[in-house]
Amino acid sequence: MKILGISSGHDAGAAIIEDNQVLAAINEERLNREKLYWGSPLLSISECLRIANLSLKDIDEVVFANLTNGAGIQREFRSGRLTFKKRLFDASSYTGLLDKKIIKKIYLFLLGGLRSERETFKLIRENGFNSSCRYLEHHLAHAASAYYTSPFNLDDKVLVVTTDGSGDGIGAAIFTINQNGFLKRRNETSFYHSPGAFYSNITYNLGFKPLNQESKITGLAAYGQPEKTLDIFRKYLKADLKKLEYRSKLGCFGRPAAKKLHLLCQGQKREDIAAGLQKRIEEVCAALIQAALQKYQCNKVCLAGGLFANVRLNQAILELPNVEDIYIHPHMGDGGLAVGAALALWAETCQRKNQPVFPQKLSHVYLGPSFTDEEIEIVLKNSAFDYHYSENIELAIAELLASGKVVARFNGKMEYGPRALGNRSILYQANDPTVNDWLNKRLRRSDFMPFAPIILFEEAANYFENFDPAHSFASEFMTITYRTTEKCQKQAPAVVHVDGTARPQAIKEEVNPSMYKIIKEYQKITGLPIMINTSFNIHEEPIVCTPKDALRAFQIGHLDVLVIGDYFIRGRPSL
């Protein structure tokens, strides 16, 4: 059964699955170059069909993530103009009406009826799909993306937790799995009490972009003293461990909540605000998940939703005494909803047929477009860059890295999700402790944000504490931090954050042979199986997708060498 999943909200995208196997997945931002694009993912639909070698006539079902228009009430932060609608929403926020179940039903009814997918429907109808389309709830799609791509088995006791700012009126949900592999919703938290909304509010208050730059708060938190502001967040963000719900005590939501938090935190340093918030988020989320694990007798956890882009939080959850293993969907935010909606519909179809379902481990995320040497050379010939071909590209890259060069690597299929995992990456040696300052400046990024390491999987336990090769699938996607060992701190100081943690990509040869070989060759030269891997993009732009994108980012970023496929590009363009 072939299903096309579509998400037209925040970080819009598309995906195609066949049964529970993901064939292609891409987000619109990579194609139209508008970061976290919000709208109809027409380019993504066409590209997924091309990658999967299918037409719309081959598709059995089309499903949209979200019952409403996918915008969510957090979208107010994306526009500064204070409209009548916003004023009405703000006033309602103070009354507590937004916390009423009847309001959620009205919200779903009105926004569900008003949603328009006119452009998308036109595309799919004109290209041969004439059946009806389905709509599935936001957090169900998140949950399906996490569980049905996990490495767990049907007999494992798995708890699935989703948390974000808001989706279809919900901020968090808890699911268990029945004996036939189907998701069963157990608990949910209204958007009014969402911990993700707290994080977005503080992101906004500290001068960053909500629904975009929350990771900067996580990075900044390591520089602060949480005790300076922790009591504020403990007073206003709580967890009801009996009902398994989060509870906000702010008495308002959205813009009013952001204003209230701003007043409460006045006079505090921004790093202390970030540290206090991060600490409290870890406390309440860990407490709620621990209580749910005990209640439902689970020992493995699947996570999805924007809050779980917070890698320090994910580490705190892994370190809970009842947790044996953890998996975070690699595209944990709304960009993963297209995959999740397709998988949820597949499971629903199987349930109607009384067929049990089971997860299909997502062994890699190289699900986007790729380019042949011929296609690459055409682009290079039409550019002003000098280039040459290499017979042993991996060894050549390793030698450049060992000599201290910054290498941009563009190879094979583009990654699905927010992390560059070796195919659209910038690489550099990890033993230069000054790199955080000068390379971030070249890339126009915040200097307090740490660089992440890529390491040979078989070496990871020597560099990261509590790294268990049998329970470390999350580390293959850079979705969790670990405390670093003394060896890591001495040999790879550039990837150790100020709090002593790092967010590794532990790479296996069978997953990405070319990237694995680069590190092996680098290890032969330097003795080190670890290096920096950061995303190949300019600040506030999406990760590069095409050879043209790569050439542009290479030039703007003032990098030393660009390697596209088997071609080397050095220096500036020829005049």
∠ Cα 404 408 410 (to 5°): 145
Residue 128's pLDDT is 82
CATH number of 373-570: 3.90.870.20
560: left (phi over 0), alpha (psi -120 to 50) or beta: alpha
- Please name the fold of domain 2-137+339-352: Nucleotidyltransferase; domain 5 (3.30.420)
Are 472 and 456 in contact by the 8 Å Cβ rule? The answer is: no
- Is there a common fold for 2-137+339-352 and 373-570? no
Return the sign of the alpha-carbon dihedral for residues 450, 75, 288, 329: negative
SS (H, E, C) 413-436: CCECCCCCCCCEEEEEECCCCCHH
Using alpha carbons only, give the angle 126, 130, 135 rounded to the nearest 5 degrees.
Answer: 105
Q: Burial letters for 135-170: b for 16+ Cβ neighbours within 10 Å, e otherwise?
A: bbbbbbbbbbbbbbbbbbeeeeebbbbbbbbbbbbb
SS (H, E, C) 90-138: HHHHHHCHHHCHHHHHHHHHHHHHHCCCHHHHHHHHHCCCCCCCEEECH
Q: How far is CA 489 from CA 100, 442, 493, 497, in A?
A: 51, 24, 5, 10
- Look at residue 254 in the predicted model and tell me its pLDDT: 87
Residue 347 exposure: Cα atoms within 13 Å on the Cβ side: 26
Q: Could you tell me where the beta strands, DSSP code E, fall in 345-415?
A: 387-389, 407-410
What CA–CA distance (Å, rounded) separates 509 from 489?
A: 25
Instruction: Provide φ and ψ at 314, rounded to 5°.
Output: -60, -35
For the 150-328 domain, the top CATH level (class) is alpha beta
Calpha distance 457→359 (Å, rounded):
23
Reading the chain (575 residues) residue by residue, the pLDDT tens digits are 999 999 998 999 999 999 999 999 999 999 999 999 999 999 999 999 999 999 999 999 999 999 987 554 555 544 566 676 677 767 777 777 667 677 667 667 666 666 668 788 888 888 888 888 999 999 999 999 999 999 999 999 999 999 999 999 899 999 999 999 999 999 999 999 999 999 999 999 999 999 889 999 999 999 999 999 999 999 999 999 999 999 999 999 888 999 999 999 999 999 999 999 999 999 999 999 999 999 999 999 999 999 999 999 999 999 999 999 999 999 999 999 999 999 999 999 999 999 999 999 999 999 999 999 999 999 999 998 999 999 999 999 999 999 999 999 999 999 999 999 999 999 999 999 999 889 988 888 877 788 999 999 999 999 999 999 999 999 999 999 999 999 999 999 999 999 999 999 999 999 999 999 999 999 999 999 999 999 999 888 999 999 999 999 999 988 999 999 999 998 766 54
Q: Where are the domains of the chain?
A: 2-137+339-352, 150-328, 373-570
pLDDT score, position 78: 47
